[in-house]
């Protein structure tokens, strides 16, 4: 029987302890730093085994169990670990970040305090054209000559907004009202605490190429510089089974099977049957799902017969 009064050492991660409070820069003036954490890979294993006997299993067995848990979408063992970050983020990016409801947040108040005197500025070679294939994405870089003008305009606009804000404060306007015309790129700061399960969800969405570049920079840093050190087995399993894995629907699995057997005609017929391909006036049209599937097929070295 387990001795319930056994004194337990606090689980800690030496690699994460080394970077507690260290500021990792992001974008031109943002940062992420770890304030605190709870648990390690071993806490996940411990919770899964509901055991107090740390060290009774080999590290390789811990790794295997973590991989099993993540592969089979177990969630609560990963909720046993928590991470508290201090982040400095432009508000447009923060607006996306704060949509993740499963974190505990305290944000810098521009009602109590004067707004942070920094807004995200864009270098001439950082301007991105509207994507031609994705309505909410970016495409190629903007011509550098145009970029230079855009960056100069941005600097002028930021200065003007700052002057108007300062002027309002000097006239005695309340901070909560004076702030309303500050640029959306103004930096804000927050303490952000989240459990590992929900952090992995955040990372899977925000490290993805479909996420906006700015928030992707934060997510990649949190993943690669922090989570990878903190819970290395979980990070490895996350990359393997979540982030770099490929999800195939029932229909997609059937397509892969047909194409792997060289049955291109069968695949084309199936695509018409399920509405992925339609014909209008002699022209064959592809659904969005059919176009997305092309990208997945590339990973198998296969090409779509349409």
Ligand X SMILES: Cc1cc2nc3c(=O)[nH]c(=O)nc-3n(C[C@H](O)[C@H](O)[C@H](O)COP(=O)(O)OP(=O)(O)OC[C@H]3O[C@@H](n4cnc5c(N)ncnc54)[C@H](O)[C@@H]3O)c2cc1C
Catalytic residues: 206
We find the least distance from the C-beta atom of residue 23 to ligand X, in angstroms, to be 25
Residue number, 104 or 261, with CB nearest to ligand X: 104
Q: Which of 58, 72, 73, 101 binds ligand X (CB under 6 A)?
A: 101
Q: Does 211 bind ligand X (CB under 6 A)?
A: yes
Mutual angle of helices 213-221 and 196-206, in 10-degree steps: 140
Residue 201 engages ligand X in binding (rule: CB under 6 A):
yes
Question: Cβ 197 to ligand X, closest distance in Å?
Answer: 9
The full DSSP string for 133-187 is S-TTSEEEEPPHHHHHHHHHHHHHHHHHHHHHHHHHHHTT--HHHHGGGS-TTBE
**Binding status of residue 99 toward ligand X by CB under 6 A:** yes
Cα 167 to Cα 129: distance, rounded to the nearest angstrom: 35
Binding-site member from 149, 180, 210, 294 for ligand X (CB under 6 A):
210
Of 184 and 284, CB closest to ligand X: 184
Q: At what angle do helices 41-49 and 59-71 cross, to 10 degrees?
A: 80
Count, residues near ligand X per rule CB under 6 A: 9
Select from 169, 173, 205, 239 the one that contacts ligand X (CB under 6 A).
205
Please choose, out of 105-113, 145-153, 197-205, 288-296, the segment that lies near ligand X by the rule CB under 6 A: 197-205
Residue 216: name the closest of 128, 297, 125 by CA: 128
> Given the rule CB under 6 A, which of 113-121, 168-176, 205-213, 245-253 is the region that contacts ligand X?
205-213
By CB under 6 A, tell whether 102 contacts ligand X.
Answer: yes
Q: Which positions from 26 to 65 touch ligand X by CB under 6 A, shown as an x/- string?
A: ----------------------------------------
CB 102 within 8 A of CB 194: yes
Question: What are the beta bridge partners of residue 192?
Answer: 85, 105
Q: Smallest distance from the beta carbon of 84 to ligand X, in angstroms? A: 16
107 strand-pairing partners: 190
Q: Whose structure tokens read 């700015």?
A: 214
Between 102 and 130, name the residue whose CB sits nearer to ligand X: 102
In this structure, how many other beta carbons lie within 10 angstroms of the beta carbon of residue 178? 21
Q: Which of 100, 229, 242, 263 binds ligand X (CB under 6 A)?
A: 100
The dihedral formed by the CA atoms of 9, 84, 194 and 70, expressed in degrees to the nearest 10: -50
198 lines the binding site for ligand X (CB under 6 A) = yes
C-alpha separations of 163 from 91, 120, 122, 158, 171 in Å: 19, 17, 20, 9, 12
C-beta of 134 vs 253, nearer to ligand X: 134
Residues near ligand X (CB under 6 A): 99-102, 198, 201, 205, 210-211
């Amino acid at each position: 029987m387990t001795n319930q009064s056994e004194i337990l050492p606090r689980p800690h991660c030496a690699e994460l302890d080394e970077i507690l409070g260290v500021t990792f820069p992001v974008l031109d003036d943002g940062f992420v730093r770890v304030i605190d954490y709870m648990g390690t890979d071993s806490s996940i294993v411990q919770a899964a085994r509901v055991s107090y006997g740390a060290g009774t299993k080999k590290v390789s067995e811990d790794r295997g169990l973590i991989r099993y848990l993540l592969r089979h979408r177990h969630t609560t063992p990963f909720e046993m670990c928590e991470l508290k970050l201090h982040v400095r983020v432009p508000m447009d990016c923060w607006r996306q970040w704060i949509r993740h409801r499963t974190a505990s947040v305290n944000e810098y108040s521009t009602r109590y305090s004067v707004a942070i005197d920094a807004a995200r500025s864009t270098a001439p070679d950082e301007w991105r054209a509207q994507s031609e294939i994705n309505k909410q994405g970016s495409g190629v870089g903007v011509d550098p000559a145009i970029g230079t003008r855009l960056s100069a305009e941005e600097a002028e606009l930021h200065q003007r907004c700052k002057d108007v804000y300062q002027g309002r404060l000097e006239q005695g306007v309340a901070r909560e009202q004076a702030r309303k015309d500050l640029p959306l790129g103004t930096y804000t700061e927050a303490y952000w605490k989240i459990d590992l399960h929900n952090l992995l969800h955040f990372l899977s969405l925000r490290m993805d190429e479909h996420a906006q570049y700015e928030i992707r920079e934060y997510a990649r840093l949190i993943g690669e510089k922090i989570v990878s050190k903190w819970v290395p087995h979980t990070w490895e399993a996350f990359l393997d089974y979540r982030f770099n894995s490929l999800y195939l629907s029932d229909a997609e699995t059937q397509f892969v099977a047909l194409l792997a057997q060289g049955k291109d005609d069968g695949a084309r017929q199936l695509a018409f049957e399920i509405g992925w391909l339609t014909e209008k006036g002699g022209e064959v049209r592809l659904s969005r799902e059919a176009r997305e599937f092309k990208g997945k097929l590339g990973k198998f070295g296969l090409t779509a017969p349409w």
